[in-house]
Each structure stands twice: as C-alpha cells, then as structure tokens.
Chain A
Amino acid sequence: MATPRNNTAEFPQVVRTPDRFRNAIGKYRLRRSSACVACGKCAEVCPYGVHKKQLNKMAKPRHYLCVGFCCNKCVEACPEKALSLESNPVTKMIGDYRWTSDLLISTWYMSETGQIPPGDIEYKVGNSGGGFDKLRFNFVKEPCEDPSRDLDMTKFSTRVPLNRLDDGRGDVSIGIPVYGGGMSFGSISLYTMVGRARAWKAWDSFTCTGEGGYPEALYPYDDHVITQIATGLFGVREETIQRVKIVEFKYAQGAKPGLGGHLLGDKVTPEVAKMREAVPGSSLFSPFPFHSVYSVEDHKKHIDWVKEMNPKALVSVKVSTPTDVDMVAVGSYYAGAHIIHLDGSYGGTGAAPDIAKKNIAMPIEYAIVKVHNFLKEEGIRDKITVIASGGCRTAHDVAKAIASGPTVWS
C-alpha cells in the first residue's frame, strides 16, 4: 500500500501558550539583590527574555526562560553585581529517574513555545539507566536545531497507514506516528478530553476515550477518536462503537497488568456515573480479564462482533507485556485484529500500586523487539500495525521505539 504523503503545511501552527502559574519552574534561578538600581542592562543583554524593565523598576525574573551558566551574560553585565545565578533547588523535588526534572521542564518549555529548549537542558533521555535511556542513535549527521530551516520538508513524511489487512475496511492513516492513549472520562475531566481531541485532530491523529463512555462533547471529533471496549464495559454502547474509525479492545493496562482498573468513588461524580451507568460516589472496578475470553477463538468472537456492528472500523487490541506477549500478538492477528497495541509496565496511571508498576510484566523496550521479530518470522509483520505505549516521554523515545519495531506510539 502506498503511504499517502503529508506535507508540513497541513500541520498546526505554533501558538505561544504560557504556563498558568506566575512562577513557572525552571532549571535555574536568578536572584537579584537590593543592590539593583534598575538600570535595565540585564534586559538588554539577555537573549531569552528573562529580564524585563517595568517603568522604573525591574520585574521579577522569568527564571524558566534562563538557560543557565552557559550564558551567564546578565550576571557578567550587571554593573552593581546584583545578580546571582544558581541551580533551582525545587528541581530536586520534581521528577524522578524516568521523568527527570530536566525532562519535565523541557516538556513544559516545548508545550509553551513549540521549540526545542535552548541551553544545556536534557530533553532527550531520562536517567533510568536502561531501556530507551541507554539506546543511542548513530546519526550520520548531527540533527540541527530547527529542521524546517535546513531541510527540505517535502521529502519527509510522518504519515502512517494503520490498516494493512486490505480487507476493504477504512483506509485509515495518521499524520504523525503518535496518538493520545486511553484516558477515561472520570479519570480526566471533560475539559481535558476535549482539549486532547482538539489537539490530536489538529495533528490528524487520534485520541482514545479509555473506558468510561463517549461524552457528547467529543462527537465533533468522531473521526479522530478511538473508543475503548474494556473489561468493565463502562459506557460501551452499540452507538458509540458505530461512531468511530478505530475500536480498541483493552485486555490489560501496562501499569497494572493482570489487576484490572479502579476508579475511586470520589471521582464518580453524577456526570461520570451517568455516562458509566453506575451509582455516584461508588468505586468502580474493571475486572481483569474479559470474563468471556479464555482463548483465541473467544477473542475472535469479540472482534467479529465489533466488525459486524461497525463495518468500517479497524480493530485494535491492547494488551500488556507478559513473557509470551509474542504469542498474544500473533493470536490477535489471526483473530482478525488490524492493530496490536502493546502497553509496557513503566508508564501510566497513578492508580496502580507501586509493586505492580515496578515488577509485573516486562518493560516495553523488550516487548517491542520480541513481538516484532516473532511477527516477522511468522511472515505477518506487514499485515498488522504495532502500537507501543508505557514509558514514552520524548520524541527520541518515539523514534527509538519505531526503530526497534512498532509503527505508532501512544
């Protein structure tokens, strides 16, 4: 199948969108002592807009824009020696090994500006010491800061076709090999859901409703929504399955493999309860697994059922990563799935016990390679789309994952 080419012109323009808080957190912090005479010299020399003169005094520095010691221009230029630069001590309180404070801060910066952060901030890898953080690309040519300036963008395409079965169903493709993974109404608010839908539509990609129904506010984005059929069947109706281009069967979630979901009673507001056909204030459990699926044949029955209900939709199967994940993937293919979605253990939800996130099931980095190789040996790698999720943080992670097997990242 020929890959339809996209051109960058169809992608959304960057609109600068600052943090809602007054003091966005940055990697560095500047202090201005009382020796400051508000001469405005710092504002003149700073290339990043950290300092600003307001009337006859200096505004509080916008620390998060500061690139730190590699610049240091304002500190050197200050005639009164009133400025001092230091690492922001708050950075020790945010982030962890996987999501380091640098990754968080750089992601915030990219969300605000649409640009790669300047300076020495590490925006590519975390500090987990394994997996994606250990893999490195062997670049023929070092990547440049602004690719659109130096490269002929018409020669690149990030579009990925999702249906490889040639079964007459929708010729669905996405503009970038990334989509917004499942987050249910209830776990997140309607604002967040619609915000996500708008963003992913702009990128000609998808957002997944998770398991919790299909709020009406999402109807305008039908063509960019994946709806989920999970074990609790919350909010699943024939009508919701018929709306979308992709239906996702969720067997398990990487963060709590083999454990099932749990929406705390506090989050079951009247609106959420109505959508899920449940009682407000009561905790909702999604059992593990599908109690009607105990074999590939049972699995096929469910996929057939969805295909019957929506003759155009693609079927995606989301599983977590046991040691035999390769067999699960092949089984899903033979059951008729278009997409196999592997969800690794290191990502996701805050509602999962630490012991599950840390120990149960294999990290996605291994699962991708395992599944990819097995599908290849089986001769069906080109017939199925592999989506991976669970511990993806940066654009570099996406590229690394794709280099090692799958086609799309969630």
Chain B
Amino acid sequence: MPKKYHIHTETTPPRFVPVEKGTILDWEGGCLRCFKCVKRKCIFGAYNKRTFDTKQLSDTIDNICRNCLICVQSCPGQVITKVMNPEYERMGNAYWTPDIISRQWYQAETGSIPVSGAGYPGPFSGPGFDDMWTDMSEIVRPTRDGIHGREYINTAVSLGKKLPSLVFDDHGEAILDTPSEIEIPIPIIFGILPFGSLGPDVHLAMSKAAAELDTLIEIPAEAWDKDLEKFKDHMIPVIRSGQVERYRDLISKVKVVEINDSKGCEAIIKTLHKTHPDVILMVRTPLGNNCRERAQKLVEAGAGIIHVFADRDGNVDMEGKIWFVKDVVRKVHDHLVDMGIRDCVTIIASGGIAMAEHVAKAIVCGADAVAVDIPLLLALECRMCLRCERGLSCPVEIQNAHSQWGKTRIMNLIGAWRNQILEVLGAMGLREVRRLRGEVGRAMFFEDLEAQTFGKLFGKRIDSAKEEKQ
C-alpha cells in the first residue's frame, strides 16, 4: 500500500477582522443599570473579551458572539438586539454567496470541515450544483471506522494522454511508446486567479502550497520569474498559442505546459509533441458552442489534458441558452465516451468551483479533476468586493500577505476540502476518486427524482419561472 497522503493543517487566524453575519446592537441609552446585567453572563465572554480594531474601525464583539441570543432574550430593559450585518449581506454575488465566502474563510483558518448545527439550513435544491445529490451505500461497503479511523481512500488522479490499446510490431512485440503521465494526490489543481490585488507573495504562497500538496499550479508565462523556478515541477505555464516560440526554454523546463486554444492549436500540439515529447500538453478551451466537437479534435491532435472552463459563476453560453458548467462537462464527457476516446485524455474543469462538494459533483459529471481559483483568493481573506477590478485598493491588502501565512491558509482550505471529498466517497463505499468519474448512476438529479416521484401523480413539471409569469 502506498504511503498515506496527509495534508498538514494548522490554525492560521486572519489578519483582518472578518465580516460576520450578524451584529449586536445595544442602546446604552435605555439601560437601566441594573445589577444583574446580562452582559456579564455571556458564556462566550463576548462583552468582556471584545476589543476595538483601530485600523479597521471595527469591534470584535461579533466575532466572539455565537448567536445564542441569551442576552437579547434576557435583558430586562430590552435594550440589546442582534441584527443582520449589512456588510455581510453585500458580499459576493448571487453565486458566490456570503455563506460560501465565510465558510471558505473558516476552512482556511481552521482546516476543519464546516459543521453548522442542527438540520440542513439551505434550500431544498437549487440551480447549478445544487440540483444533485450523491448516493450512499446502505450496507455493502468496505469497513471503515468513522472519520478518524478510516482506511485508505485514494484521491489521486493521473493527468496526461493514455493509449487506447497496445500496438504490436511485425514480430509480435509490443511497441511501448507510452506518453508521459503525472499523478497528483488530489483531484484539484490551482487555476489562474481571475482577479485580485496580486503581488509576488501571492504567487509564491500558491506555489509553495501547490508544491507541498504535490499538485500543480497554472501560472501565466508572462508572470514567470526566478523565484518560482524552484517550483518548476509543479508549474503549468499558460502560453498564448502565438507565443509558443518565445517560451521554448520554459517549456523544456516543466512537466506540463498549457496552451490557450485557437485555430491553429492542433498544429502547435503536433509540433510540440515532436520537439518536447516528454512534456504533457494541456489545452485550455472554453465551454460553449461546438465544445464537444472541439474536445474531440484536440484529443485526436494529441492533447494530453483538456482544461474546459466556464465563467467564474459556472455559466456557459451555448446554443443560445445559459447552461451550467457541470451539465456541459457531462455533455463533453459523454461525447468523448461515445467516440470511444474518453480514456485517452484527462479533462480538467473550472469555473464556479466554490466548495468541496463541487469538486465531487464535477467529477461525477465527467471531469477527472478541477482547477480552483477564487477559493484560493478567499483563503487569503478576499471579500469579493472586486474593488481590484476597478483599480481600487484591496480592503484586506492581499498583496501584502506573507507567503508563509498564505501557504498555510491555502493548505488548510484544501485539507478541509479533501476531507469532505473523503466523506462523499466514504458514504458511497468508493475507495478511489478515479472511480467517481462519470458515475452519474451514483448521483441523483432533481429533475429525475421529481419526474419519478411526482410525475405519475401530477404530470410534467412546469418551470417555476414560467409558472410565475403565467
């Protein structure tokens, strides 16, 4: 049995006071000055441990408060209340909800799996990744003793081109011209950050984390510098297809190189395959119209990895309709399966991967692995205010974060994510993340369940949006 893979995590507090969901209001004005002040009774010490951060002009009481509401319910003068923090509600967007953002902060700080209390608090189902559930195996499964004593579940995936079959020469000898392959211990690589107040320390933090996790990190070829040289085994330089010649030296240093898809891409793949036979060729191609056929062409041209991407909220504009990333990945996967070439190539998906469950779900829908981007920024305390995109300063000064601090935060986040992937795999009785790929039979989809359950009774389901219009 190979050595058990383990991600080291350690508590790494944020540098700035995080934005909390709620905020305590107390009106000193109505206070009766009674001797039994409920503030003294707070079991979490919210009222006496609070401090004032002079830099951010913010009180830490809300970070200590655990929302038990005993003070609100007990104050004789009824002068204490707790309300929603408007700053919290404003964070992110409809896809990157405040809850998602603050959960990633929690994981980056503690390295622990989020546990939120009794019951499941969210909507029944929803768009995107929320319209599917993963299966569990009731009785037959490998033996495991709870989270801490579980036996080895392998989360490694191998990236690169694979031969569809053995080829023999005239003498009956196998021609063993196997293409290079790389194995990473988690089905996650680090993608290019779409925004952010970035500096050399941010890239360094990500590279250090990628190296320690033994995974890969995409980096624009233009951003390559000497400091990153020592991480070259974990680097995927991303090169625009017109500039391949310019980066020949760089390509010969690394194990994987990524090219932005363009018209002449097939020819470039073929040339690079000849000049750098040991380098794994990865092509970055958008999901959208003709992406199925495009993926097929790239496989035929000899690409080892296809990185398909949606926009940052996971949306894909295809055939005059907005699709969600997982549904399009499923189409690409199915198409390659139909063509009999799915196993020749690795598919990496990105766009809208915001939580650990999304990794598992993207893999169920046919990806081999995913590239994460925004969650890495969230690990560095990003609030998704997008001021950086408007050229304004970053409220949490990401560019000044120390690379060691950033590294442990990212390690914590990925460690927590991996544990959650293990939960999903464990519940299904799977011992290999590779076996999850394309296993839609191990998932339950909202539309299917609705049709099976209520279809017989009530007929076809009407789109709720349409229903409202009518």
The residues of A with any CB-CB pair to B shorter than 8 Å are: 19, 21-25, 60, 89-90, 92-94, 96-99, 127-131, 133-134, 251-252, 255, 257-262, 285-291, 293-295, 299, 319-320, 322-325, 328, 345-363, 365-366, 369-370, 391
Contact = CB atoms under 8 A, between A and B. Distances in A.
B432 interface: no
Interface string B102-123: 0100000000011111111111
A350 B120 contact: no
Given A287-B145, A351-B115, A129 B73 contact: no
Enumerate the 9 nearest inter-chain pairs by beta-carbon distance, A residue then B residue, closest first: A130-B124, A258-B427, A96-B121, A21-B73, A285-B146, A258-B136, A128-B124, A357-B120, A257-B136
B159 to A, nearest CB: 25
Interface in B111-146: 113-126, 132-141, 143-146
A320 B83 contact: no
B12 to A, nearest CB: 21
Interface residues of B, number: 66
Nearest to B355: A355
A92 B134 CA distance: 31
Given A93-B82, A323-B135, A365-B453, A25 B72 contact: yes
A362 B143 contact: no
Contacts, number: 210
B84 A251 contact: no
A259 B423 contact: yes
A253 to B, nearest CB: 11
Interface string B82-98: 11100000000000000
B414 interface: no
B135 A23 contact: no
Contacts of B122: 96-98, 128, 358
Nearest to B442: A323
B452 A328 contact: no
Contact of A363 (B67, B124, B357): B124
Contacts of B121: 96-99
24 contacts: A23-B74, A60-B78, A89-B81, A90-B72, A92-B22, A96-B122, A97-B123, A258-B426, A287-B145, A287-B146, A293-B139, A346-B119, A346-B124, A350-B115, A353-B115, A354-B113, A354-B115, A357-B119, A359-B132, A359-B357, A359-B361, A360-B427, A361-B427, A369-B454
B429 interface: yes
Contacts of A347: 119-120
B138 A128 contact: no
B78 A23 contact: yes
Nearest to A299: B139
B356 interface: yes
The SS class assigned to the B binding surface is loop
Given A288-B144, A351-B115, A354-B116, A22 B73 contact: yes
A360 B424 contact: yes
A251 B139 contact: yes
Nearest to A260: B146
The SS class assigned to the A binding surface is loop
Query: Which residue among A90, A290, A325, A369 has the maximum number of chain B CB atoms within 10 Å of its CB?
Result: A90
A93 B143 CA distance: 41
Contact of A360 (B75, B116, B118, B134): B134
B262 to A, nearest CB: 38
B144 A287 contact: yes
B74 A90 contact: no
B138 A93 contact: no
A320 B136 CA distance: 9
B61 to A, nearest CB: 14
Contacts of A260: 144-147
A150 to B, nearest CB: 30
B350 interface: no
Given A98-B119, A258-B428, A23 B140 contact: no
Query: Which residue among B78, B119, B137 has the maximum number of chain A CB atoms within 10 Å of its CB?
Result: B119
A322 B141 CA distance: 13
B114 A366 contact: no
Nearest to B140: A294
B185 interface: no
Given A98-B121, A285-B148, A352-B115, A322 B74 contact: no
A359 B126 CA distance: 12
A155 B450 CA distance: 36
Contacts of B454: 369
A209 to B, nearest CB: 19
B76 interface: yes
A96 B146 CA distance: 29
A319 B136 CA distance: 11
A92 B83 contact: yes
B43 interface: no
A346 B73 contact: no
Contact of A345 (B74, B120, B143): B120
Contacts of B420: 353, 355
Nearest to B124: A130
A142 B117 CA distance: 36
Nearest to B149: A285
B115 A324 contact: no
Given A257-B136, A262-B146, 12 more contacts: A22-B76, A130-B125, A285-B146, A287-B143, A289-B138, A345-B120, A345-B133, A354-B113, A354-B120, A355-B423, A362-B449, A369-B454
A75 to B, nearest CB: 18
Nearest to B89: A92
